[in-house]
């Protein structure tokens, strides 16, 4: 059973547009919800993370929206740029190590 | 700090051979994780250590896999004997202060078993 479900699998966005990636989880014990970004040939790197005591966190063009009652969280990338083209993973953690979603391959086209 | 360092970056080996992957975590980090990434299964946790002690190895696929952490600055993941289905990218990651904090990943070892 997947502990976290991520969608979509792939996403194509025009330069300057908004990219939105969603994740849903089941276990209410999770208390750490990060998003990781991975470029080809590299390891995943933390992009932004949220704890369940807030509903939104913004860092530059990247925003996490968190809906505790729906057990969902999403990543919004504003003004998407070609350099944002990468694979994005949501993850969840409580008292166990990070469990990752299957990933979303984002392509930002000019 | 140079980050998490893994070696080798690429490994090609024949089926049945022993493979050893190496990891140097970030100095001062007290948690170390080994993950495996494949197209089909994504990023899977294999095993993790806290203060050099293995805490959970339930993700290790078979007895052919073993991991050690002899000291705070070094860990190995060994596969013996290797099989073609072990082909994947293996990542080591480390964190400080807990499992629900930022994990810093190495660049990975791409393993190909032929």
| Positions in chain A whose pLDDT score sits under 70 | 1
Could B91 and A45 be called an inter-chain contact, meaning their C-beta atoms sit closer than 8 Å? no
The span from the CA of A102 to the CA of B41, in Å, is 7
Tens digit of pLDDT for each residue in B10-63? 999 999 999 999 999 999 999 999 999 999 999 999 999 999 999 999 999 889
pLDDT at A44: 98
C-alpha distances in angstroms, A73 versus A53, B22, B111?
A: 13, 35, 33
The helices-and-strands tally (H runs, E runs) of chain A is 0, 11
Closest CB to A89: pick one of B43, B45, B102. Answer: B43
Is residue B22 classed exposed, middle or buried when 0-12, 13-18 and 19+ CB atoms within 10 A define those classes?
middle
Average pLDDT of the segment spanning B94-99: 95
The span from the CA of A98 to the CA of A33, in Å, is 9
Question: Structure tokens of B11?
Answer: 């490994």
pLDDT at A1: 63
b/e map of A49-88 (b: 16 or more CB within 10 Å)?
A: bbeeeeeebeeeebbbbbeeeebebbbbbeebeeebbbbb
On average, the pLDDT of chain B sits at: 97
Q: Among all residues of chain B, which has the CA nearest to that of A92?
A: B100
pLDDT at B2: 83
Q: How many angstroms separate the CA of residue B4 from the nearest CA in chain A? A: 10
The span from the CA of B34 to the CA of B105, in Å, is 9
Confidence check: pLDDT of B1 > 80: no
A35 touches chain B (CB under 8 A): no
Closest CB to B105: pick one of A41, A43, A99. Answer: A43
A40 touches chain B (CB under 8 A): no
pLDDT at A70: 96
Question: Which has the higher per-residue pLDDT, B2 or A10?
Answer: A10
Give the CA diameter of chain B.
39
Asked if residues A80 and A16 have their Cβ atoms less than 8 Å apart, the reply is: yes
pLDDT at A2: 75
User: Which residue, among A92, A98, A103, would best test binding to B if mutated, counting the most B CBs under 10 Å from its CB?
Assistant: A98
Q: Which of residues 80-99 of B touch A (CB under 8 A)?
A: 91, 93, 99
Q: What residue has token string 């896999």?
A: B65
Closest CB to A97: pick one of B33, B42, B106. Answer: B33
Residues in chain A within 8 Å Cβ distance of B101: 32
Tens digit of pLDDT for each residue in B51-82? 999 999 999 988 999 999 999 999 999 999 99
C-alpha distances in angstroms, A61 versus A20, A57, A95?
A: 12, 11, 30
């Amino acid at each position: 059973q997947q502990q976290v479900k991520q969608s979509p699998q792939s996403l194509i966005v025009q330069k300057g547009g908004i990219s939105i990636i969603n994740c849903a989880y089941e276990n209410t014990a999770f208390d750490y919800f990060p998003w990781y970004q991975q470029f080809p040939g590299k390891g995943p790197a933390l992009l932004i993370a949220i704890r369940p005591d807030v509903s939104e966190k913004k860092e530059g063009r990247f925003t996490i929206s968190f809906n505790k009652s729906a057990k969902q969280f999403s990543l919004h990338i504003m003004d998407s740029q070609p350099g944002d083209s990468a694979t994005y993973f949501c993850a969840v953690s409580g008292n166990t190590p990070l469990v990752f979603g299957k990933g979303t391959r984002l392509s930002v086209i000019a | 700090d140079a980050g998490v360092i893994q070696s080798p970056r690429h490994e090609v080996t024949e089926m049945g051979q022993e493979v050893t992957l190496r990891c140097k975590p970030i100095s001062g980090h007290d948690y170390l994780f080994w993950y495996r990434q494949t197209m089909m299964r994504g990023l899977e946790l294999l095993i993790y250590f806290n203060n050099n002690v293995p805490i959970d190895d339930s993700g290790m696929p078979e007895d052919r896999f073993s991991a050690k952490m002899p000291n705070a600055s070094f860990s190995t993941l060994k596969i013996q004997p290797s099989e073609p289905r072990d082909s994947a990218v293996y990542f080591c990651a480390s964190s400080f202060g807990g499992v629900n904090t930022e994990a810093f990943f190495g660049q990975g070892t791409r393993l190909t078993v032929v």
